[in-house]
Each structure stands twice: as structure tokens, then as C-alpha cells.
Amino acid sequence: MTEPATLSAPRRDDAAGSRADAGPAPFDPDRVRRQFPILEPGRFDPPLAYLDNAASSQKPEAVLAAVDRFHRGYYSNVHRGIHPIAARTDSAYEAARRKVARWIGAAAPEEVVFVRGTTEAINLVARSYLRPRLEEGDEVLVTELEHHANLVPWQIVCHEAGARVVAAPVDDAGDLILDELAKLVGPRTRMLAVTHVSNALGTRVPVAEVVEIARGHGVPVLVDGAQALAHQRIDVAALGCDFYAFSGHKMYAPTGIGGLWARGELLADMPPYQGGGGMIRSVEVESSTWADPPARFEAGTPDIAGAIGLGAAVDWLEAVDLDGAQRYEDALVASAVARLAEIPEVRLVGRPADRVGVVSFVVDGAHPHDVGTVLAAEGVAVRAGHHCAQPLMRRFGIPATTRASFALYNGEADVDALVRGMHRVRELLLCF
């Protein structure tokens, strides 16, 4: 939302929705790139090819401006303030919640809880929803694709309860084996937690099919959507899941803000995750009663600026032709895959049938950290390591990979820079 110029004349919250109704202009990658100040020509020498988007995306001017206007023009804390700028802050904060709810297809804004990001969202569900229902001998089913954020929280509560975490396998291409997952869902399965898009391989999981398997056994499903929302619009109702977790900083919003969507009836039955101001109905010295969701789960002063920035990121994404953007990005990733495969020492890790935004590879004779260091000197920003997916690395028999990950502002020039950088890797690391 573009904030109002005066306190007395707020702009309608549905302005971005009206633009979306009119239909976005056809996707233009050059126009998109010009909206990101950090990517302006001449800012870096050598020029920056930013291919570390799975770790965090850059921010468009619209998001930067929205956060700046908040801090400069109407900063206040949220909730219970009665002065004019407090009222304006409240309005902007809750408007962001409504935008996110609309963006993901939630039935009501109250189903969206603002958290620090995907990690906190999953911890919230593990602690508040699952732990009270978990008994000795129960199981939480995950997959070998998962980020540590969708593994460790379940491990912690399972350890406390005497339960265990079980992982469904992936094949050599990096695709989830649905038949094997189905075999692992049983009478002691209390949660199925699955990534929407793998941060390490780019595998897009057929979540609706996973949910259908779980539904046949009455098992709730949490989806880690951290890597998905920057590349596609999702509809939680169509997916059929019970929880959907995501991070703002991967979808062009600030760090420190994200969301948990959950079915309203589930949130209403969950106890608080943290205690403090803002999440209570009444407090006595010895006991308290809780506010309704989502306030029940938003103890203390929230990341107000982050929420406003997240709302602005949703506005920005709604103005993008995402269908055209996905086709463009898919072609760009396919180009990177094909060109890297032509380099003799490069071995691609995973060839998923449905790949989103990520190319992961190893170089025979060179450590991924060394590859990343050489690429950085050439102006190419990639990520090197296990990508918080050590079980997946072990599945492929490797300790780490070099990962190039793409966003809507990337172009063929970035692929060119990556390929040039890899030839420099060959010169410096492989020619003895």
C-alpha cells in the first residue's frame, strides 16, 4: 500500500487489488530490474550478478520507500494508541495483514499471524499445535528435501515426547517419491511437514497431491513456503494444507518479517507460543486469559516496519505479470542449467522435473567455498555450502554445493557472468 500523504486522507487499502483487477502489464525484465536500486549500473565494479536469491532477495524501490515513509512520516507503536499517527500505524499494519491474506487466498485476515519468518512460524506450530497432541511412539513425517527449519523444530518436540521424525525419500533427480511417502503415513503420524520448493535443488513439490495422501489418514499438513512465494502466487485453499509458513525477505520484503497462515479453527484451539503484551485479554497476578488469534500469537512489539514493507512487497508482486515472469524465469534457469552442463568439470546436483529458481552444482577437484570465492571476485554472488539441508546433501553423497538462484530481476547477462566466472574457476582452481 502507498501510504497517504496526510493523516486525514488515507488511500484505500484495495488500490493494489484494483490494479491487479485491471491486469498487470506484460512482464518486462528490464523494467523490473530498473526498480531495484542496488542493481543500478555502475554501482559495483565488477558489475554485480546477484544469484543468491534463495538466501534473500533484493528490495524494489516501492518497498524501500514504504518503510522509509513509515519511519519518517508516521512512526508509532501499534495497538491501543489513540493519537493520530498511532491510528495511522495501526491502519497500515493491519492493511498489510489483509494484503497477505488476499495474496495467499486465506479465508480471513485473522488467519495470518505475523512472525519473524518461516523458522519462527514452524516453531510456533511445533510448540503450540503439535506438542500438546504428541505422545510417545508418534511420528512426524518430513522429506529428504527439507531445510533445517522444517526439521529441527519437529526434532525438539519429538525428543520431549518420545516421538520420532521420519523422512520420505527423493530420487536421484531430486524429486519426492510420492509412493514411498504414502507408505510412511500411518496411524501414529501426527504431522506431515513438507517444503513447497526446495532451497537446495529448486524442486517444486506437488503439494496438493501430498495433502491428498495425508487427508486420507486424517493427518494435518504444514507447508514450508519460504522459497515459493517469490516465484508464484499460491492459494492455500486450493492446496488444501492446514498451515503455510513463509518469509518476507525472500519475496522482496524486509528481513525480520514473515507469516504463518493456519486454518482459523486450528488457531482458535492453539495456546500462545510466547507471553507478553498484546496477546492477552486480561491479566491477574496468578493467571491470564488470551486474546483471539492472531493477536494471541504476536506478543510484544512486532516488526511494524517489516509488516508494512511486506504489504508493499505484495502490492509490488500484484503489479507483476507473474505468469509471464515464471515463463521468463524458467527459461533463464534452463539456460543456466544447459550452459553449466557444458563445462566438463561441473556436475549438476539434481534434475527435478519441476525446477524453480535454483541450480545447484559441484565442481570436480574444487571445494564449493573456493568456487564461490572465485565467483565473488568476478562479481557473481552465489551461495556455497550445505544450504541448511544436510540430510539432502548426504542423500547425494556430498558435503556441499555451489548454488545459483534466480529472481525476477535476473537476466541472461547474469548467466553470462556465471559461465565466465566458472571458466575463471577452471583457470585458477583446476589448472595445476
How much is the average pLDDT of 47-75? 98
Residues 301, 328 within the same domain: no
Supply the pLDDT for residue 430.
Answer: 81
Q: Is the pLDDT of residue 203 over 80?
A: yes
Residue 58 lies in a domain: no
**Quick one: cell of 125?**
506450530
Query: Model confidence at 24, in pLDDT bands (50, 70, 90)?
Result: confident
Residues 247, 211 within the same domain: yes
Domain boundary among 318, 340, 360: 318
Residues 122, 204 within the same domain: yes
Residue 206 lies in a domain: yes
**Quick one: cell of 55?**
538466501
Residues 216, 245 within the same domain: yes
Residues 209, 307 within the same domain: yes
How much is the average pLDDT of 91-95? 98
368 in Cβ contact with 400 (< 8 Å): yes
Residue 118 lies in a domain: yes
Residues 397, 253 within the same domain: no
Residue 26 lies in a domain: no
Cα(36)–Cα(79) distance, integer angstroms: 33
Domain boundary among 318, 345, 363: 318
Q: How many domains does the chain have?
A: 2
Cα(344)–Cα(367) distance, integer angstroms: 16
Residues 396, 276 within the same domain: no
Q: Which domain holds residue 141?
A: 89-318
Pairing, β 49-50 against β 346-348: unpaired
Supply the pLDDT for residue 22.
Answer: 62
Q: Is the pLDDT of residue 170 over 50?
A: yes
Residues 267, 356 within the same domain: no
Q: Is the pLDDT of residue 106 over 70?
A: yes
Domain boundary among 301, 318, 335: 318
**Residues involved in catalysis:** 388
Residues 331, 309 within the same domain: no
Task: Tell me the pTM.
Answer: 0.93
Residue range 209-261, pLDDT digits in tens: 999 999 999 999 999 999 999 999 999 999 999 999 999 999 999 999 999 99
Residue range 260-289, pLDDT digits in tens: 999 999 999 999 999 999 888 998 998 999
Residues 354, 409 within the same domain: yes
Residue 74 lies in a domain: no
Give the number of residues written for the chain.
Answer: 432
Supply the pLDDT for residue 17.
Answer: 38
